[in-house]
Structure 1
Amino acid sequence: MSDERTETVGRSGRLTMRDIARLANVSMPTVSRVLNDSPLVTVETRTRVLEVAQAHGYAVNRNAKKLRQARTGTVAVMLDFASHRHGAIGDPFIFELLAGVSEALSIRNQELLLSPPGLDDTRAFEDFHRARGADGFIILGQGTRDAMLRSLARRGIPMVVWGAVSKDAGYCAVGSDNLLGGRLAGEYFRMRGRRRWLFLGDIRHAELRLRYEGLCQEAAEDKEVTVEYLPIASMAFNATGQTVSAYLAGGAQPDALFAFSDTAAMAAIGAFRERGLIAPDDYSLVGYNNIPPAANFSPALTTIDQKTDVAGALLVEKLMQHIDGGRARSILLPTQMVVRET
């Protein structure tokens, strides 16, 4: 004799929610609540419904489920590939941020969609959001896209940005106090008696421009100090090292270097070493981000700490506030210098 739970179900041979309700002796709304993890169902009922579903190989159609819901439960996380040569990102700092965001999304049962292709302008972002590709966007790095981000904000697209915090941007940003970071680097150079400062980076990026401005503000406190700016075409490690090597080969002799990242600082140290220049004897150096390898590099890097341990959770929290209809406010993270060998 066949058991009640193994009888034929549905004319198509596929188990439906109606079949589950009948076999588990509950209503269809109860089945829906169980499959959507509602807390309004007792443990006993939930167990019985799930046993029936599993016994007949029932699988939730997640795409159909998303279409029925007000939200997709998906967040798109966008990386700034354009700032790296051939779109290859190798900076550990970015992946620390990404790991923090991923963990925070997982805790909230949100899916992470990493850098979907084709989102190159405001219209593409807007179309993707309207097509329910994602509930919102977390953008790791403003890069040179500030104008586009401001445009997205005016259109009400839910997003939060890791980068420079600006009162007039119109969008929520989370980041360190980049201006203060630049001033801290300058204070350190002055304390070490350095006079010929070099800033390494691309000041078209809002974050890096603020760091450069902070450095210049501190330099203005001493008439004997000069600041030179060395732009880079790519944030990639090898490209940065080549840029510094070419600069030094031209006869430049800076006695202090403020690099836009710890990775860039490491590349620069190699270029300086090729010229027989060693930190901290021949020059002082300050990086940015305080990535884990910075403390174990030789020489250990003096750097600006950005508190990545809390950044991911804050980015997700701010985005969820926006998605829920609230007003997410920008926030500056504590910014401090970590003095090591350089």
Structure 2
Amino acid sequence: MAIKRAKTMEDIARLANVSKPTVSRALRNSPLVTEETRRHVLDVATKHGYVINRNAQKLRESRANTIAVVLDFSSHRENRISDPFIFNLLAGVSEALGQRDQDLLLCSPAHSSVESLGSITTSRGADGIIFLGEGGRRDDLIALAERAVPFVVWGAVEKTLPYCAVGSDNFQGGFLAAKHLLDQGRSRFLFIGDTHHAEINLRRQGFIKALSEEMGARAANLVVSDMSLDDFSYGASHRAATEMVKGPRPVPDAIFAASDTAAMAVISAFRAAGLSVPEDVSVVGYNDIPASEHFHPPLTSVRQDVHVAGALLVEKLMLAIEGRSPQSTMLETRLIVRASS
């Protein structure tokens, strides 16, 4: 005789045609659900013999139901973030937290040391931490992992790291950008970005790898140079591109920028100098922010799926909070070709 499986909260949500968070709220008499919905869920639960796991409920109730989110302010001057991608990613995380009935605590730049970051959870201010960007704090993150603080990171995914990271395939993104620019018949290449950041360094490595393979295949005389920026802002990129055009070296005919913001700034500076995109120079950005397709010309960019990223970051952090060991995940990158290249 088969043993009848006990109903789970997921089962009740499906049978009641509501979400799992709604079932959780209804069973807790939360004011966030209507009385009609609460009665409906309770009726379904009673009918199907759903039994509340009191131990699990007590564990949930001992939590703050708040997740701290730390932005990478350190990579931006005067703590001003001008790249929209980070806010698109924050929106994805916020949506995923909302679906789990979790509050979001946005931390200030003051939470920058291992001690202050760890205190966010030990003081019961939050159950765990999501870092949106490594910045230059990798050593701090490694030290934080030794303190058993539940956290996950949006950043470079590397096997040697002692913490869980979610990120795009930065190497492949750079590789795809270079292959596309090569297909346009370009020969003077410029990479724009601060390679002190692991993610951006991987993008450059993939870019150089594709160019190197092409050199071997066609023995082409490809020229590669770098424009390093320690400030991710539009203004810094525009100034650097303006100075480059005025310089003695030949202007590149192919540019891969490590962010869409930098790519747009370079296009603007080149247009001001009388150069045309993509006639004189092809430009590829990274992140595929919403403004990319509305820019003039529409920007070719490497896409990262922020909605999937946000859901994964939250899912893996919840596993870490439960005492489990979530594994890092690398997301696929895709080249979205538009008129700038």
Length-normalised TM-score, structure 1: 0.79
State the partner residue of 2:18.
none
State the partner residue of 1:145.
137
d(CA) in 2 for partners of 1:205 and 1:288? 15
d(CA) in 1 for partners of 2:120 and 2:301? 38
d(CA) in 2 for partners of 1:76 and 1:309? 18
State the partner residue of 1:237.
234
Report matched runs for 1:112-127 at 5 Å: 112-127=104-119
d(CA) in 1 for partners of 2:302 and 2:281? 18
State the partner residue of 1:322.
320
d(CA) in 1 for partners of 2:30 and 2:334? 48
Partner of residue 227 from structure 1, selected from 224, 229, 236: 224
State the partner residue of 1:130.
122
Deviation per CA, 1:6-45: give whole Å up to 9, x if none.
xxxxxxxxxxxxxxxxxxxxxxxxxx965799xxxx949x
d(CA) in 2 for partners of 1:118 and 1:307? 29
Going from structure 1 to structure 2, the CA distance change for 1:116 and 1:73 (only over 3 Å counts) comes to farther
d(CA) in 2 for partners of 1:289 and 1:184? 13
State the partner residue of 2:269.
271
Are 2:183 and 1:204 aligned?
no
Report matched runs for 1:255-266 at 5 Å: 255-266=253-264
d(CA) in 1 for partners of 2:299 and 2:39? 55
- Secondary structure, in 3 states, of the residue corresponding to 2:315? helix
Unaligned runs of 5+ in 1: 1-31, 47-65
Going from structure 1 to structure 2, the CA distance change for 1:73 and 1:36 (only over 3 Å counts) comes to farther
d(CA) in 2 for partners of 1:251 and 1:162? 39
Are 2:122 and 1:156 aligned?
no
Query: Contact between 2:259 and 2:286, CA under 8 Å: does it hold in 1?
Result: yes
- Secondary structure, in 3 states, of the residue corresponding to 1:76? strand
Query: Contact between 1:261 and 1:288, CA under 8 Å: does it hold in 2?
Result: yes
Query: Contact between 1:76 and 1:137, CA under 8 Å: does it hold in 2?
Result: yes
Are 2:246 and 1:254 aligned?
no
- Secondary structure, in 3 states, of the residue corresponding to 1:161? strand
Going from structure 1 to structure 2, the CA distance change for 1:127 and 1:268 (only over 3 Å counts) comes to same
TM-superposed deviation, 1:226: 2.2
- Secondary structure, in 3 states, of the residue corresponding to 1:220? helix
Unaligned runs of 5+ in 2: 1-26, 33-37, 43-57
Amino acid at match of 2:223: T
d(CA) in 1 for partners of 2:339 and 2:171? 23
Mean CA deviation greater in 301-310 or 204-213: 301-310
State the partner residue of 2:307.
309
Amino acid at match of 2:158: S
- Secondary structure, in 3 states, of the residue corresponding to 1:82? helix
Report matched runs for 1:1-342 at 5 Å: 34=29, 43=39, 69-221=61-213, 222=215, 223=219, 224-252=221-249, 253-342=251-340
Deviation per CA, 1:56-89: give whole Å up to 9, x if none.
xxxxxxxxxx9x9531111111111121122111
d(CA) in 2 for partners of 1:205 and 1:86? 18
Amino acid at match of 2:163: Y
Length-normalised TM-score, structure 2: 0.79
Query: Contact between 1:143 and 1:205, CA under 8 Å: does it hold in 2?
Result: yes
d(CA) in 1 for partners of 2:169 and 2:253? 25
Identity of aligned residues (%): 47
Query: Contact between 1:76 and 1:134, CA under 8 Å: does it hold in 2?
Result: yes
Query: Contact between 1:77 and 1:112, CA under 8 Å: does it hold in 2?
Result: yes
d(CA) in 1 for partners of 2:183 and 2:29? 65
d(CA) in 2 for partners of 1:118 and 1:341? 42
d(CA) in 2 for partners of 1:290 and 1:199? 17
d(CA) in 2 for partners of 1:182 and 1:34? 51
d(CA) in 1 for partners of 2:109 and 2:211? 43
Deviation per CA, 1:166-219: give whole Å up to 9, x if none.
111111111110000111111012111111111111001110000011111112
Query: Contact between 1:76 and 1:116, CA under 8 Å: does it hold in 2?
Result: no
Query: Contact between 1:122 and 1:152, CA under 8 Å: does it hold in 2?
Result: yes
TM-superposed deviation, 1:120: 1.1
Aligned residues: 287
TM-superposed deviation, 1:151: 1.4
Instruction: Extract structure 1 runs of 4+ deviating beyond 4 A.
Output: 32-37
TM-superposed deviation, 1:243: 1.6
d(CA) in 1 for partners of 2:120 and 2:98? 22
d(CA) in 1 for partners of 2:39 and 2:182? 66
Mean CA deviation greater in 326-335 or 122-131: 122-131
